[in-house]
Amino acid sequence: MRLGLSSQVFLAAAAAGRKALVGYYPVGYPNVEASLQVLKTLCGTDEHPGVDLVEVGMPYSDPMMDGSVIQSAGSAALRAGVRTRDVFAAVQQVREAGKCAVVMTYWNLVERYGVRAFARDLANAGGAGVITVDLIPEEASQWFAAADEFGLDRIFLVSPSSSDERLVTTVQACRGWVYATAVMGVTGMRNTAPTLAPQLVSRIRELVPEALIGVGLGVSNGEQAAAVAEYSDAVIVGSALLKPMIAAGSLAGLPDLQKVLDELVAGVRGGTATQNSISMIEREC
């Protein structure tokens, strides 16, 4: 695995004696302007540190890997008129707030925009890279070329069902870090044992010791964040940050979002996990 812009976030957190917090939010929910304000909140202040790395989500009409919370927000964003180009304004907002941003997207949106054009505009907006949800390295030659040209990280996904060979090839194709989806199925589904998460990370570390690993496991509170931080380099949170905004349907949800964010930050930055923390994730998501 090659280091990249976003991996510096993980390394900086490690140098501070902790793990990184990665927060996902879709551009366009409840509308584009409001989503930019939410992203600014996620980036934090001196009083409220916020996330270390922002995943800017691109709403898609056929989100086959998204759970109900993210699907609901994405559908509302599309109805409100969000467009692919809006992701660049979102990335720029994150950069202006002093944090690093990657884009999480389905590959069809990038292809329709133009692979090289997307990479160029993302780099110009200050983006660090892209998490390609449904793209595998064997089919990513165009993306490799564009990412190399514009210095962008390429972050692929692995899961508990990945063979050792697949883990090695996928991690080696990454630049920045690898996204470990600790359950099989769409986000929000909990059909597999939660113990697969640390097992997956352990397998990756044995096969590719230098890998930086972010884990997405449906974390919803500080205790769960602390539990995942015990074995990963970064804790990835999405639905828990969206739920307060969906409940309010407007920026009136920001105070509740701030409470959730503060608890997650505290968990990742030194919270104590109990033995039941991982099993709690399965029950609550």
Percent of the chain with pLDDT over 70: 90
Token pair 């551009």 in the structure block, residue? 27
Catalytic site residues?
55, 66
Using DSSP's 3-state secondary structure scheme, residue 7 falls into helix
Helix-helix angle 254-268:222-229, to 10 degrees: 30
CB 197 within 8 A of CB 227: no
Predicted pLDDT at 270: 84
Domains recognised in the chain with CATH numbers: 7-280 (3.20.20.70)
pLDDT tens, 165-177?
A: 999 999 999 999 9
Predicted pLDDT at 195: 66
pLDDT tens, 78-102?
A: 999 999 999 999 999 999 999 999 9
pLDDT tens, 19-46?
A: 999 999 999 999 999 999 999 999 999 9
Q: What is the DSSP string of 81-132?
A: T--TTHHHHHHHHHHHTT-EEEEEE-HHHHHHH-HHHHHHHHHHHT--EEEE
Model confidence pTM above 0.85? yes
Predicted pLDDT at 62: 82
pLDDT tens, 97-149?
A: 999 999 999 999 999 999 999 999 999 999 999 999 999 999 999 999 999 99
Using DSSP's 3-state secondary structure scheme, residue 182 falls into coil
* Nearby residues of 285 by Cβ (< 8 Å), 6 or more positions away: 188, 190, 218, 220, 239
Mean pLDDT, rounded, of the chain: 90
